[in-house]
Structure 1
Amino acid sequence: MWEHTFPHSCRQSQGSVHVPAVAEIVAVTAKYPTLTIQILKTAQLFDSIKSWQDVDRILLHGQGLSPGTYKTYASTVRRFFEFTDQLSPLQCTVGHIETFYDAGKADGKAQKTIYNEVMALKNFFAGCERVAPGFISPFRNMDDKLVKKLKNQGHAHKKRALQQGEFKSLLSWLKQDVSLEGLHLYAIVNFLTATGLRAAEVSALRWKDLYLDETAGAWYCSGIGKGLKPFEQEIASVEAVDACLSYFKKAFKRDPRPEDPLFHGDKNEPINPHGLWYRLKKLGERAVRAGVITRELQFSPHLLRRTAGTLLDAAGMSPVGIQNFLRHESLETTANHYIDNRQKASPFLKEVFAGG
C-alpha cells in the first residue's frame, strides 16, 4: 500500500543534508540502543497504517481535540491523504505539502481556506511527533521562502468562471476530438459542470452511485461530500451521463458494472483529485493556445464548479436555488465566490438615460 511513486518535484530534496553511511548507522545503533528501539517502534506504528480509518484511529483520535477542531483536522487530513494516493504520513515530504497547497490555489479555493488547511496539516504532523517518537514533521524541514508562502492568508476577491459563450465554445471544441482522451475530457467537463461537484466527490464516484429518478425525470448521484456529509446531487444534463457512458464503452469495450469508477486515471485506476486537477489544468492551457478560450483562466475542478453556479445564475435560477444546488451553508459564499456575474450596466440603464 505504501510503496508510492510521486512526481519528482514532490520528492524531498537532499540538498546539503548529510546522509549517514551504513557504518555510522551501526555505530549510533550500538551507542544509543534505546533511541534505535524508539525508531523501530515508530516505523512499526506507521507500517500498521493501511487505510484512512487507521490514520484516523492512530493519529487523530486520542489527541484531546475538541469536536470542532477534530472535524476540521479530519476533513483536511483525509483530503491530503487521498491527494497523495494514501501515502503514509511517515513518507510525506515538504514537496507533498507544497503541491497540495498549489493544487488548492489552482482549484480556486479562497486563500484563507488554503491557509487554514495548511495550519491543520501542521498541527496534524505535530501530533504525529507526539505519538511517534523519532518522527520529524516535514514542516520542520521547510526553508524560509516556503514558510512565508504557506503563511499567506490572502485577501478576498471575486473568483472567475467560464461564461456561457466560453463554455459552449469549449464543449464544441472538445466534441470534435473523438479519441479516448478527448471523450474522457468531454465527459469530465460535462459532468463536473452539470453537477457542480468537488474534485474529491467526483473522484470517489462509481457507476452504482448514479441513478435515474423516473418520477422526477432526472439523473442523480450520491456520495460523501465535504465534512463527511452524505449528499444526493442532481445531474442537470443527461448529456453528461451519456458522455461518461460513451467514454467508458470506448475505453473498456463493455457496459460499466456497478463497482466500476466513473472516471479513470493512469493505468485504469480510479482517478484521484490531483489527477483530475492535472488533466483540467493541461486542458485549459491547450484551449488558450487553440484560441478557444481567450482569457487567462486556471482550469480546475473548482473552476467548473463556479461555472455551474454562474451558468445557473445566467439562466435565471434564484440565488437560494444555486446555493442548494452547490450545497453551501451560506448564501454569502455562493454569491461572493461562485457566481461570476460580470454583466455590463449599459443595457439596463439605456432606457433610463434615453428619456433624459
Structure 2
Amino acid sequence: MIDDYLAYLQVERRVSPHTLDGYRRDLEALSAWTRKSADGDVAALREADLRAFIAAEHRRGLSPKSLQRRLSAVRSFFQWLLKHDRVAANPAAGIRAPKAPRKLPQVLDPDEAKALVEVSTEAPLGLRDRAMLELFYSSGLRVSELCALRWRDLRLDEGLVTVLGKGGRQRIVPVGSHARDALREWRSDSGGADEAPVFPGRGGGPIGPRAVQVRMRLLAQRQGLFKRVHPHLLRHSFASHVLESSGDLRGVQELLGHADIATTQIYTHLDFGHLAKVYDAAHPRAKRRDPR
C-alpha cells in the first residue's frame, strides 16, 4: 500500500524527489513500528495505535517539527487509503503533533541583496551568474523552478516568467527590469534557443540545484557576504521585502506559489517601527494627540 501511495505521489501529484523521499522515510518508519508493535497490518491501525507511534518517535528523540512532518505524511497516506476504500476511516485525522517553535527565516537586507546580485559580468560566467541571481531576487523562484526554466518560459518584453511549482501548479510571476536586462545580456552571449535551458549545466542539460547552491556560496564570499547564502535565502528576502513594502499578504502568497496562506505568514516578521507606522496611518483612533 505504501508503494502504491508513493507511486501516486510521484505520477499524479508530481511531488519533487525531495518531498517523495521525505514521505518514504516517514511511512517506512510507520511500517517498521507496525511490524514491531502492532501485528504488521498498517490498514488495521487505530487512533490509539498512531498516538503510540508518535509517542515512540518522540521518545526516540524526534523534534516537534519532525513529528509534525511525520504525522502529516501518515495523515495524507490514510486519507488516500480512505479514498480508495482500503480503510473505513482515517485514524490520524484527529491527532495533532506537539507545537514546534517557529523560526523566522533569515533574510538579506536590501543593501546586502543588492551587493549579492550585482556580481561582475566580466568574470568567467559573470553574465550567467548575474542573470541567475537577479532572477532569484526579482521573482522569488524556488531553486527547482529556476533550474527547470527554458527560454520559452520567459516573456521579457512583458516582464513575466511562467514557472511550474510544487504539485505541478503553474503560475506567472513578474520579472523586474534589472533581471530582464541581465537575462537579455545572458541570452545574447549564450545564444539560447527557445527550447534550451536558461541556465544549462554540463552536457547542455539544465543546471542542477546542487551546482546552483555551491555557486551561490562562492559568489556570496566574492561579494563580501559571509552569511550562509543559499537560493532560498533570496526567496525569503524577496518575500520579506515585498511584504514590508506592500503589506499585501495574499499578493505575496500568489507570487510565491504557496497553496496555504499559513505558509506565507512566516514572512510577517515586520519590525515594530514599521508596524507602528502602519497602525498609526490606518487606525481611526490611533493618532497620538499633541501633548501641548
Distance 1:181 1:222 in 2: 25
- Secondary structure, in 3 states, of the residue corresponding to 1:231? strand
Kept in 2: contact 1:77–1:124 (CA 8 A): no
Provide the residue aligned with 2:246 in structure 1.
316
Query: Which of 205, 211, 214 is the equivalent residue of 2:149?
Result: 205
Provide the residue aligned with 2:177 in structure 1.
238
Taking structure 1 as the reference length, what is the TM-score of the superposition? 0.52
Tell me if 1:157 matches 2:125: no
Kept in 2: contact 1:211–1:220 (CA 8 A): yes
Q: Which amino acid aligns with 2:24?
A: L
Tell me if 1:184 matches 2:128: yes
Distance 1:169 1:353 in 2: 42
Distance 1:155 1:271 in 2: 35
Kept in 2: contact 1:224–1:231 (CA 8 A): yes
- Secondary structure, in 3 states, of the residue corresponding to 1:165? helix
Query: Which of 199, 206, 215 is the equivalent residue of 1:270?
Result: 206
- Secondary structure, in 3 states, of the residue corresponding to 2:222? helix
Kept in 1: contact 2:116–2:219 (CA 8 A): no
Query: Which of 255, 258, 269 is the equivalent residue of 2:194?
Result: 258
Query: Which of 1, 5, 8 is the equivalent residue of 1:70?
Result: 8
Question: Residues 204 and 124 of structure 1: is their aligned pair in 2 closer, same or farther, counting only changes over 3 Å?
Answer: farther
Distance 1:264 1:297 in 2: 27
Distance 1:195 1:282 in 2: 22
Distance 1:150 1:79 in 2: 23
Question: Residues 277 and 355 of structure 1: is their aligned pair in 2 closer, same or farther, counting only changes over 3 Å?
Answer: farther
Question: Residues 73 and 354 of structure 1: is their aligned pair in 2 closer, same or farther, counting only changes over 3 Å?
Answer: farther
Q: Which amino acid aligns with 1:332?
A: A
Kept in 2: contact 1:72–1:120 (CA 8 A): no
Please report how far the alpha carbon of residue 203 of structure 1 lies from its aligned counterpart in structure 2 after TM superposition. Answer: 0.8
Please report how far the alpha carbon of residue 163 of structure 1 lies from its aligned counterpart in structure 2 after TM superposition. Answer: 1.6
Provide the residue aligned with 2:25 in structure 1.
122
Question: Residues 121 and 353 of structure 1: is their aligned pair in 2 closer, same or farther, counting only changes over 3 Å?
Answer: farther
Please report how far the alpha carbon of residue 344 of structure 1 lies from its aligned counterpart in structure 2 after TM superposition. Answer: 4.2
- Larger displacement relative to structure 2 (190-199 or 179-188): 179-188
Distance 1:121 1:200 in 2: 20
Q: Which amino acid aligns with 1:313?
A: L
Kept in 2: contact 1:313–1:319 (CA 8 A): yes
Q: How does 1:212-227 map to 2 (within 5 A)?
A: 212=156, 218-227=158-167
Distance 1:238 1:345 in 2: 27
Please report how far the alpha carbon of residue 197 of structure 1 lies from its aligned counterpart in structure 2 after TM superposition. Answer: 1.3
Kept in 1: contact 2:108–2:234 (CA 8 A): yes
Distance 1:243 1:342 in 2: 32
Please report how far the alpha carbon of residue 297 of structure 1 lies from its aligned counterpart in structure 2 after TM superposition. Answer: 3.0
Q: Which amino acid aligns with 2:232?
A: H
Distance 1:224 1:177 in 2: 29
Query: Which of 335, 344, 349 is the equivalent residue of 2:265?
Result: 335
Please report how far the alpha carbon of residue 318 of structure 1 lies from its aligned counterpart in structure 2 after TM superposition. Answer: 1.4
Query: Which of 196, 199, 202 is the equivalent residue of 2:140?
Result: 196
Please report how far the alpha carbon of residue 194 of structure 1 lies from its aligned counterpart in structure 2 after TM superposition. Answer: 1.4
Tell me if 1:248 matches 2:151: no
Give the paired residue count: 222
Kindly report the root-mean-square deviation, in angstroms, between the aligned alpha carbons of the 2 structures: 3.8
Deviations, residues 302-347 of structure 1 (Å, cap 9, x unaligned): 11111111121232251211111112222222121x4553454798
Tell me if 1:167 matches 2:113: yes
Please report how far the alpha carbon of residue 167 of structure 1 lies from its aligned counterpart in structure 2 after TM superposition. Answer: 1.7
Kept in 1: contact 2:14–2:168 (CA 8 A): no
Please report how far the alpha carbon of residue 202 of structure 1 lies from its aligned counterpart in structure 2 after TM superposition. Answer: 1.1
- Secondary structure, in 3 states, of the residue corresponding to 1:156? coil
Distance 1:321 1:232 in 2: 12
Please report how far the alpha carbon of residue 233 of structure 1 lies from its aligned counterpart in structure 2 after TM superposition. Answer: 2.2
Unaligned stretches of 5+ in structure 1?
Answer: 1-60, 81-115, 127-146
Kept in 1: contact 2:216–2:231 (CA 8 A): yes
Provide the residue aligned with 1:79 in structure 2.
17
Identity of aligned residues (%): 23
Distance 1:249 1:224 in 2: 25
Question: Residues 75 and 199 of structure 1: is their aligned pair in 2 closer, same or farther, counting only changes over 3 Å?
Answer: farther
Unaligned stretches of 5+ in structure 2?
Answer: 30-59, 67-99, 281-286
Q: Which amino acid aligns with 2:110?
A: Q
Taking structure 2 as the reference length, what is the TM-score of the superposition? 0.62
Provide the residue aligned with 1:83 in structure 2.
none
Q: Which amino acid aligns with 1:71?
A: L
Q: Which amino acid aligns with 2:130?
A: Y
Question: Residues 119 and 326 of structure 1: is their aligned pair in 2 closer, same or farther, counting only changes over 3 Å?
Answer: closer
Q: Which amino acid aligns with 2:154?
A: L
